[in-house]
Structure 1
Amino acid sequence: MLKPTPLPVDVKSIADLLLDQCRAEDFSGYDPFDGLNSTAFDRVGGNRFSLARIAWLQFHKRSPFNLRKLVGVPKMRNPKGIALIILGLLERCRYERSEFELNEAVALGDWLLTQRADPIVWKHHAWGYHFDWAARAFYVPCGKPNAITTCYVARALYALGEITDARRFTDAAIDAGFFLDGLHLCESGVDYYGYIPGETAFVHNASLWAAAFVAETATRIGDESMLRRALRVAHQSVSMQRDDGSWPYGVRSHHTFVDGFHTGYNLEALELLGRTAKTKGFSDAIDKGLHYYRENFFLPDGTVKYYNDCVWPLDTHSVAQAVITLVRIGGTEKDFAIAKRVLTRAHASLYLPDQERFIYQKGRWVTNSVNYLRWTQAWAFYALSVYAVSLETRPDEIE
């Protein structure tokens, strides 16, 4: 069977435009959750009150109008966003070697090394967000590391180390595995990795991604007990997969929702963990989860649903993870066909040709077109790069 026919839109050209726009801003930008970086909010004392912090952050996250410049929120680099840009650049280098883009990735990687969480407080390499983060369950100050950001930065650094043979990147990524292993918790016989140091919330995607990178470190240094712990944690989440193949976001009462991009995270993490540990023990869970994912998160026209039971909001991040999951974890002719429909639909519904970028979200009644680097443009660039490279590098036959 022949390779899939090309998209009616030029994926690589759109990725180029996104990259050029990010370069023009020196890879800095706004984020849905950066409202607490507001100098105005700080001056009036809002940061002293937890409910005020949550309300202020959520107002800026949900508002279709970007008021950040008005209230003194600066554009900044986000470590996870930079990691996604690096991953996209390295995808392109796999089939179209560009010394400029490789050097650009290395420079961004070196920047990430400077952004590790305070080494006086945190013994091992770890990364957090560049803003205070307030939610119902916890408050996380700027710079405090978390599992997901650390995992994505470690992915980027591992990839850089492999392509450049630069030990500074590989060593930092290996060291990050020790930070992640330090998040291990066991409550009432339930093994998992926490999302944030000192917090006990059990969130499946954070626990699985941490398990994948703890296993990476364990494998590289030959620590069998560390590897067994990572596998035990992963099997905990697998045991909590529902019969239909789905996972709730987490185990708390307000974490029972099932959404697309976190489901994709879970499948990616399990696949990586299986490869790292050289085990097929997660194959059934991946197959079941992937079947659920295909059947419950896509409309026939390629629209990506945000939740399993609700289409809205249409979200560029959901689209990006859908493409990566379908191409990387699925990889069949059917998956490429769905990914093609997804990108075609996203281009029609979420892309702004006159501004050469994607919007954040489109709700049933309100569209939020705010330009976010980490949540939107970096994810889109990475996903488009993965898709373009997958078409270039696949054999003529699709099994």
Structure 2
Amino acid sequence: MEIVKYEGNNLDELITQAKREYGKDVKIISYEVMNERGFIPFLGKKRYALFIQVPTQEEGFFDVLAKEEKNEEIDKFLEKIEKMIDKKIEPLKNAIVKGDSALLDLPAHAAQNSKLDFAQEFKEFTGDALDLIRLLLKKDVDPKVAKMLVKESCGLDIDANKFDLNTSFFKEALVNAIEKKIKFKGPLKIQKGAFKVISFVGPTGVGKTTNLFKIASELVLNQKLKIAVISIDTFKVGAIQQARSFSNILNIPFFAITDSKNLKKTLQNLSGIDVVLIDTVGRSHYDYWRLGEMKEILGSGSDFMDISLVISCNYKNSEAIEIVNRYRTFFPISDIFFTKIDETYKPGILLNLPIKTDIPVSFISTGQKVPEDIRILTPERMANYILGESL
């Protein structure tokens, strides 16, 4: 793909030009707002930079084949590929017949080694404890985390001289361990007139705006609090419009700002408000410059506000750890807010992340609907997600 940049003083005209040149379905990635300096500073014009994505034509292997006349050499080549594929998937067919789902992604020799590694890694456990560990590993729980949690609910089996669960129920054992090892922030209990400030930060696409308004709906509709929303996401196309629409539905004040002075001034002028929710622009955890820019916009307010880090449950565990570690170098993270639990069947991140980072967990998003698709995380609910039980 190719990224094309347009610059001008009218964003609508830039979008129209892009659609005229590349078609009405052109993909708009983002835009930036810049202030042009004039002889009189406060009369400077706004200048926009619009970025669009233009697909490039790439010719692949099968495109080449399609252009060639069908001949015996191509037929033989494709037949050879089919035989290679059949040979590779034969072990998987046998695994399916035997019902050995844990080994479906492994060739025969790797599966055997996996069994040996498991026996060696968890040789101190027996019985139900081993079964629970196997289940946790299938859910993408880190082996060290799984071992630590299961051991919390074990006693010593005298006959085997190994650890086994001291309860017959996996959920009871897991809940007991989670209560001891993971911190939970619990429900938002905010007194009227408290002037609480909560900011939501995190990478692009994790659902910060949608889930912010799920929280806002709870505070307005159920707790009858006076809420204001501030957005500093002026980078993504449509972000301000979406936030403003949600605010209008809830009939709450909404502000869009671009710098730290405006944020400080806006907060000072919000009299009679109980809670201020701040929506931030999604930033890559590898983009230190952008993260620093966002920290500057939040300014000194980050010292007294709660900063909730929003993480998607479909992230790989290693990437999620990296996100937390990089964001916490810029912001005092108060809690982890999980989203998109409905988009993964391996939610091991729910256990791995809070245990490895020692950061409390707060909420979990279960879908896109506002305001109903959100839950307060509890040990019981977390265990249910891991075990795949109904909620």
TM-score for the superposition, normalised by structure 2: 0.21
Higher RCO (CA < 8 A, seq sep 6+): 1
Structure exhibiting the larger radius of gyration computed from Cα positions: 2
Select the structure that is richer in strand.
Answer: 2
Select the structure that is richer in helix.
Answer: 1
